Amino acid sequence: MDGRAEDGGRVYQSSRDQHISEYHYHGSDELGLSGPDSVRHPAVGRAPVVLRDRAEVLDRLRASVSAGDGGHAFVLHGMGGCGKTAVAYAVFHFATETRGCVGLWVNASERASLRSGMLAVAADRGATDGELLAARNGLRPGADLVWEHLNRPPEPWLLVLDNADDPEILRDGSWLRTSPRGIVVVTTRRAAARWWPGAELQHIGVLPREDAARVLCDLAPQSGTFKQAAEIADRLGRLPLALTLAGGFLSHQVLDPWTMDAYRRHLEEGERVELIDQGADILSNEDPRHLVGRTWQLTLDAFEAHGLPEAVTLLRLLARFASEPLPLSLLNRPEISGTLPRARTEMALRALLDQSLTELVDVGVRCVQTHGVLLDSVASATPSESLTALSSTASRLLDASIPELPDAGPEDPQLRLLGPHAIAMLRRGATPSTMADLVGIATRLATALHRTGDYLSAWETAHSAAELSEQALGVEHRLVLAARSRAGRALFRLGRYSEAEPLLRQVRGVQEQLFGADDPDTLESSHGLQLVLGNLGKRAEALSLLRATITGRRSALGPAHPLTLRSQASLLTMLSASELETEENSALLSLSADCERHLGPDHTITLGARHNHAWALYVLGRFHEADEEIRLVSDMYERRFGLDYPIALSAQQLHARIHHRLGHFEAAVDLMDDVVARRANSLGADHPFTAASRKVLAELKEHGRPAP
């Protein structure tokens, strides 16, 4: 009686003869010996209070259930957290409660849970213990057993295969089939049609704004207004999982309840992923799919396990950018090799698309777009040792996508798309040296946007770049001042003269004090300021500043430099006839020829000089020469920039004036009518340029052909 057993050991005592047989099963639960507690009830963490939107998908699925339309398989696909399971739950409830179908729910996220769940379905449908034991022991195919019983009458059924994010599991055992007796609904992140032959694919995306706001109001009706809920929904990218967690947080605060306004402020000020996940039910199991900070980590872990770390790297690189559409061309550059081999980028991107971690969008430019909450989640989980290389690569990719020397041209939709990404990279923060690089890139982007006539995007980019970099670099940093100067130039073109003048005066004053009056940056601000002053009617100050700018640029850059020639060309538009006829200024009338000799006939500054030369000829009363010059300039502008480009409209306005002076009264009024309409359409009815054009039109009509 001294025998002792420890851990898993056993002691046997017997008297007389005994024959003991003991059987042991060794191994994991891969064969599915333990099944789910139920396949008749959906295994969902938190059923939606009310399912918002999804009307089109639900109508299609409900119609199929109502018609007893067996033999169909529907695949609900979309990114993690978008509510695929909630849609499946709603269909399941409709089928069982309204149509009297047998509802069967299987967790298909892993091989073991799928197998055990499907064998439980077979048991529910009448499989005997012997049949199930044979299937579990590998003596007969499990999938064949399940579908043999699903094909038997009498009741119609609905089978949901939830979280089937690894279609290979379904394919390996041929678990996904169809039957005339019922309908199969699959929820998955895998979007590629090749995984689901014969199935009808239904995309589940984020919610429309109003429905997203209603989700928050459903969950936390006392926390705020519909308008406040809509603002939070926008901050959360209208992702159903994030909305559910946010609503849960707001509705469960007891000691210190939050309002929706307070929640929105905390989203803007802090780490929104951590804040959102505080809405999870602390008493429930920590299913990664129910937390935005972890729901996508499952897929990233699978990439690593399957030997595709480049997909993880690419997603972390995308997390350095904004959640706005990102041009595909940016990712197809040699600079991407700083973090992953360029040859592997295509495969990595396809993997992300297949797992619904990003999507292709066409906004006039082929782009990828990734949800903001997903990007925040990935960014917060990115190892710190990888951040420097990722940020550097993102910066170089953005830099390479912007013209080195931006030139005037028609509006470029790709440039506009880059603005939010430059700002997002600055907002994420960086070392001072990296921040300086980013400010320089953002300012060059703003310059490029400005020169394509997209003045609002130019202002937003330059203004945001200056604001976001001040703390790291200081308000007197050369690049911060350059960004502010560029913002001032854009304000002028937007017609906001009262804001542009003090900003450019202040920037120019600091630049002159720090760098000197003839510094290129100071002179650039001076050129911009004189344009504002001239349009405000401060001619004497504008003319004095322009002359000083020309002198400074001649000294600093040389007489043939494009910027020197541009400032000289501006002088042509500010001088009266008597001033143009003086010996000192008469040489300006040959400036366009000088520009053509130094820069070429098609250079933008050469065209601008010819445009201003036509104005000078008009002021001098040499209308036939002016008409010939402006015709050539207008034709070139139209070919290069289009009719709505600002300087093209300016040329047309001058042409209308010249028409009138030549006695072509009807042509002048018709042309000016068109200019007014186009300026009102592109700049707005209240823009100073539009107002000036309306004034010219009124003058042309008032001083039309005299009565006979």
Residue 244 pLDDT > 90: no
Rounded-to-integer distance, Cα 204 and Cα 199, Å: 15
Q: What average pLDDT does this structure show over 253-260?
A: 73
Residue 527 pLDDT > 90: yes
Q: Are 239 and 276 in contact (CB under 8 A)?
A: no
Which residues make beta-bridge pairs with 369?
A: 359
pLDDT of residue 206: 87
Q: What average pLDDT does this structure show over 567-595?
A: 87
Q: What average pLDDT does this structure show over 562-583?
A: 90
Residue 650 pLDDT > 90: yes
Q: What average pLDDT does this structure show over 208-235?
A: 87
Count how many Cα atoms sit within 13 Å of the Cα of residue 174 in the half-sphere of its side chain: 9
Indicate the pairing of strand 72-77 with strand 200-203.
parallel
Mean pLDDT lowest for which of 142-146, 232-236, 453-457? 232-236
pLDDT of residue 34: 60
- Over the stretch 348-372, which tens digit does the pLDDT of each residue have? 999 898 888 888 989 889 999 998 8
Residue 605 pLDDT > 50: yes
- Over the stretch 655-665, which tens digit does the pLDDT of each residue have? 999 999 999 99
Residue for token pair 């002053």: 533
Q: Are 479 and 469 in contact (CB under 8 A)?
A: yes
Using only C-alpha atoms, what is the Rg of the chain? Answer: 35
pLDDT of residue 49: 61
- Over the stretch 284-304, which tens digit does the pLDDT of each residue have? 555 666 677 677 777 788 788
> What average pLDDT does the structure give for the chain?
86
pLDDT of residue 691: 93
From residue 596, give the alpha-carbon distance in Å to each of 42, 175, 562, 588: 76, 74, 11, 14
Q: What average pLDDT does this structure show over 608-613?
A: 95
pLDDT band at 704 (very low <50, low <70, confident <90, very high): low
Please choose, from the candidates 405, 477, 504, 412, the residue with its C-alpha nearest in 3D space to the C-alpha of residue 449.
412
The residues, any chain, with a CB within 8 Å of residue 313's CB and separated by 6 or more, are 339, 340, 348
Q: b or e along 338-358 (b: 16 or more beta carbons within 10 Å of the residue's beta carbon)?
A: bbbeeebbeebbebbbbbbbb
Which residues make beta-bridge pairs with 106?
A: 161
Between 15 and 635, the more confident residue is: 635
Highest mean pLDDT: which range of 86-90, 230-234, 478-482 = 478-482
Residue 708 pLDDT > 50: no
Residue 617 pLDDT > 60: yes
Rounded-to-integer distance, Cα 695 and Cα 697, Å: 5
pLDDT of residue 320: 93
pLDDT band at 25 (very low <50, low <70, confident <90, very high): very low
pLDDT band at 410 (very low <50, low <70, confident <90, very high): confident
Residue 1 pLDDT > 70: no
Helices (H) and strands (E) in the chain, counts: 33, 8
Q: How many CB atoms within 10 Å of residue 600?
A: 10
In the structure encoding, which two tokens stand for residue 29, read together?
């639960």
Please choose, from the candidates 249, 256, 257, the residue with its C-alpha nearest in 3D space to the C-alpha of residue 275.
249
pLDDT of residue 140: 85
pLDDT band at 23 (very low <50, low <70, confident <90, very high): very low
Count how many Cα atoms sit within 13 Å of the Cα of residue 418 in the half-sphere of its side chain: 30
pLDDT band at 271 (very low <50, low <70, confident <90, very high): low
- Over the stretch 167-209, which tens digit does the pLDDT of each residue have? 888 887 789 998 899 999 999 988 888 888 888 999 988 888 8
In the structure encoding, which two tokens stand for residue 488, read together?
């001032």
In the structure encoding, which two tokens stand for residue 623, read together?
């209308």
In the structure encoding, which two tokens stand for residue 708, read together?
């006979």
pLDDT of residue 3: 55
Residue 62 pLDDT > 70: yes
Which residues make beta-bridge pairs with 186?
A: 75, 161
Share of the chain above pLDDT 70, in %: 90
The residues, any chain, with a CB within 8 Å of residue 706's CB and separated by 6 or more, are none
Between 336 and 42, the more confident residue is: 336
pLDDT band at 30 (very low <50, low <70, confident <90, very high): very low
Please choose, from the candidates 355, 376, 463, 460, the residue with its C-alpha nearest in 3D space to the C-alpha of residue 415.
460
Residue type, 542: A
Question: Nearest-5° angle of CA 555, CA 560, CA 566?
Answer: 90
Q: What average pLDDT does this structure show over 94-120?
A: 89
Q: What average pLDDT does this structure show over 576-596?
A: 85
Q: What average pLDDT does this structure show over 378-389?
A: 87
* pTM metric for this prediction: 0.78
Rounded-to-integer distance, Cα 594 and Cα 590, Å: 7
The residues, any chain, with a CB within 8 Å of residue 240's CB and separated by 6 or more, are 48, 81, 82, 83, 86, 206, 207, 212, 215
pLDDT of residue 619: 94
Cα 232 from chain centre: 18
Residue 28 pLDDT > 60: no
pLDDT band at 12 (very low <50, low <70, confident <90, very high): low
Share of the chain above pLDDT 90, in %: 49
